[in-house]
Homo-oligomer: A and B are copies of this chain.
C-alpha cells in the first residue's frame, strides 16, 4: 500500500467533517475517527491542528493547479486558454465539489495566513488571464463571474435555479468564444 497516501486520506476526512458538520466540529479526535486512525496516529502525521489545516489548503491548491494546467495543455486553441481553463475547471470540478470549500473555511477560521498557497495560485492565474490574448477586463469579468458562482453557493446566497445555472455557463462560454474573434495582441 502506498503508505504516504494516508496523509491524503486524513486530509479528505478533515474536509468531510468541515463541509458536513462545520468548523467547530473539526477536532483532532473527530478527524482521527473519520479517517479510521487513532489520535496519536493523526498527530504523527500532522503535529498540530494548524499543520493539518495548512495541509488541507496545500492539497486543494495542488489539485486545482493540476487540473487547470492539464486543461491548458489539452486546449488546441492558444487564445483564451487560461480563461477557458479557469472557467471550465472551476465550473465543472471545483464548484460541484463541496470539499474544496472546507479548506477555505478552515484556513480562514484557524489562520488566514495559511491561505497563502491559494493566493499565489490566484495571482498566477489572474496574470495569465490578463495576458491571454483577450481583452483583459472582459477576461477578468469572466473570472469574477465564475468565482461568484462558486463562492455565492458556499454561503447559499446563489439562489439561482438549476436550469439558469447552465444558461450562465453557456453564456460565459459563448462570450469567451466571441472574445477570441476580436483578438488583442499578447502583451508578453
Contacts and interface: CB of A to CB of B under 8 A. Distances in A.
Contact of A119 (B111, B130, B145, B157): B157
A152 interface: yes
A100 to B, nearest CB: 11
Nearest to A107: B155
Interface residues of A, number: 43
A151 to B, nearest CB: 4
A160 interface: yes
Interface string A1-41: 00000000000000000000011100000000000000000
A145 B152 contact: no
Contact of A126 (B155, B160, B171): B160
Interface in A108-149: 108-112, 115, 118-119, 122-123, 126, 130, 136-138, 140-141, 143-149
A179 interface: no
A152 B122 CA distance: 10
